[in-house]
Amino acid sequence: MEKENSNIAPINEEENVITYEIENIRNLIYTIRGKQVMLDSDVARLFQF
């Protein structure tokens, strides 16, 4: 029997879903020195941190 982690808050998926258009995400990708990168703040916003 596994112990449930009490530090994890339940997620209400209906309230936490944000839809992004593919083109909007593509606009967040930059090419620097031949590598495709995203700013950490943009990644955090995508994952709601």
pLDDT at 4 over 60: no
Domain ranges of the chain: 21-46
From the list 46, 48, 2, 15, the residue with the least C-alpha distance to 28 is 46
Condensed to tens digits (0 to 9), the pLDDT of residues 14-49 reads: 555 567 788 888 999 999 999 999 999 999 988 877
Q: Which pLDDT value is given to residue 14?
A: 58
According to the model, what pLDDT value does residue 27 have? Answer: 93
Phi, psi of 43, rounded to the nearest 5 degrees: -65, -45
Helices (H), 1-49: 13-16, 22-26, 40-46
Q: Identify the residue with better confidence: 45 or 6.
A: 45
